[in-house]
Structure 1
Amino acid sequence: MIIRENNVKVEEFSDEFMIKPEKREYLPSELIFFDLEHYVYKKPKCIGVFGACEFNERLNEILVTQYMIEDRDEVADILYLARNYFIKMKKLGKKAIVTFSGNNDFTVINYLFKQYGIEYDFNKEFDSIDIQKEYEKNKTTSIGLKNLEKLFDIIREGEVISGSNLAKTFHKVLKDKSYFKRMPEEKIEKILLYNEQDVVNLYHIYVKWKKYIYDDNEIDDIDELEEIDELEDEIDELDNFNYENKSIINH
């Protein structure tokens, strides 16, 4: 099992730009940003990489925690590590989990918890904020995480890896006990970096939300304000023109 923790420095954030779901407001320090890389074939087979991060307000940095299985014998181990992580975060005062299209991840982890007899109820322990659903509340269309990152001017480190390629990798890890040992170190690092970027970028999107996302009513209001500004500019120009002409005539 690969167990990795990494500290990522971040800029100071402003409360005015954060996501504020209806009747629910959380500071970044109260949140867990969460993402899984998993393998599903007809039903969930395993979690390949567990990734989560938390914001440390005192140090102004994100602590990323990752677990990655190395063979099929660790399929249950990663589940226990995941549960223990959430138990620890609850004790530290975390109140909600932030995901992107998190229903998929929760479906997988809950299925595997049940399969391996691990008792844990996310609904009882944490509130849930799905950034994709928050986007859909403001817009009439849906969006993928990578396109949302572009909208937020986020430059992703490392390569984007497709879900199907990740699934193929973890299928081989389950099937061949020595496959992971033969994997190039570069490939392992790419997978871990990809997952790390997913959770870190969820934090950036959360704290900068209102800087980039407006709902349709706000856009209409902005358009109206711009039209009023343009009209006022035209009136000012007309007043200046009349004043100049009057001056010429009087002269």
Structure 2
Amino acid sequence: MIERHTNLSICSVSQEDSLVVDGKSDLFKNAVFFDLEHYIYKKPICIGVFGCCYLNNKNDKLEVTQYMIENKKDAHDIVFMAKKYFKRAFEEHNKRYIVTFSGNNDFTVIGYLFKQNNIEFDFNQYFRNIDIQKEYEKERKICIGLKALEKEFNIIRDTEVISGSNLAKTFSKIIKDDTYIDRMPYEKKDKILLYNQQDVVSLFDIFIHWNSIMKKDTII
């Protein structure tokens, strides 16, 4: 298993710019920002990369945690590590919200794999989900993809976009061949992890700058 922990410095956050939910503008302090890269073939096969981040309110660092599978055994272990992460976020770090982008798919995948591995964990007992795509749709009455929304928020990716089909092919090879990961160039592994990291960090950036973009006068 590749396990990566990254602490990122952030600019000062203005609550006036943050997305308001239930009349609260500071929910980013108590939220986990969550995204999976996964492999589905008729049914969920595995989580390829688990990615989450949250704001450490003591030092104002964004703490990113990622797990990436290296073989078939890791595909089993990663779901247990995911549960442990969420429980620790709730119990030790007082996180009460999960922020996703079109999160139903990720919740379906992880829920299926939890059940397959006899893991009892009900997200609704611990967290409330805030789906950025749905919040955008409520505001603008149209649907949008994450990359298009990043453009609207002037977020420039450090890495190129990787298609879901290419990621699925990679995870399929990892599952079927325990030595494949050893033949994979370091640059490719790093590219996948950086891509996932950008996804979760973008969710945080969009959340805290929501009003600065969404509340602009859109009348031309």
Q: How does 1:95-244 map to 2 (within 5 A)?
A: 95-214=96-215, 219=218
User: Quick one: which amino acid aligns to residue 186 of structure 1?
Assistant: E
Q: Residue 232 of structure 1 corresponds to which residue in structure 2?
A: none
Q: Deviations over 1:26-58 (max 9, x none)?
A: 432201000000000110000000000010233
The CA deviation at 1:219 is 4.5
Q: How many residues align?
A: 219
Q: Name the CA distance, whole Å, in 2 between partners of 1:85 and 1:214.
A: 34
Q: Residue 41 of structure 1 corresponds to which residue in structure 2?
A: 41
Q: Name the CA distance, whole Å, in 2 between partners of 1:96 and 1:27.
A: 8
Contact 1:138 1:214 in 2 (8 A): no
User: Quick one: which amino acid aligns to residue 132 of structure 1?
Assistant: Q
The CA deviation at 1:143 is 0.6
Q: Residue 72 of structure 2 corresponds to which residue in structure 1?
A: 72
Q: Name the CA distance, whole Å, in 2 between partners of 1:27 and 1:111.
A: 28
Contact 2:21 2:27 in 1 (8 A): no
The CA deviation at 1:93 is 0.5
Contact 1:21 1:134 in 2 (8 A): no
User: Quick one: which amino acid aligns to residue 214 of structure 1?
Assistant: K
Q: Residue 89 of structure 1 corresponds to which residue in structure 2?
A: 89
4+ residue runs over 6 A deviation:
none
Contact 1:9 1:61 in 2 (8 A): yes
Question: Percent sequence identity over matched residues?
Answer: 53
Q: Name the CA distance, whole Å, in 2 between partners of 1:24 and 1:43.
A: 38
Q: Name the CA distance, whole Å, in 2 between partners of 1:138 and 1:212.
A: 11
TM-score (norm 2): 0.96
TM-score (norm 1): 0.84
Task: Give the RMSD, CA atoms, in angstroms.
Answer: 1.4
Contact 2:15 2:26 in 1 (8 A): no
The CA deviation at 1:21 is 2.4
Could you say if the C-alpha distance between residues 123 and 200 of structure 1 is closer, same or farther in structure 2, counting changes exceeding 3 Å? same
Contact 2:15 2:25 in 1 (8 A): no
> Which entry has the higher C-alpha Rg, 1 or 2?
1
Q: Deviations over 1:160-211 (max 9, x none)?
A: 1011100010011111111111100000000000000000111000000011
Q: Name the CA distance, whole Å, in 1 between partners of 2:146 and 2:83.
A: 25
Contact 2:2 2:70 in 1 (8 A): yes
Name the one with the larger helix percent: 1
User: Quick one: which amino acid aligns to residue 119 of structure 1?
Assistant: E
Give ranges in structure 2 of 5+ residues lacking alignment: none
User: Quick one: which amino acid aligns to residue 20 of structure 1?
Assistant: V
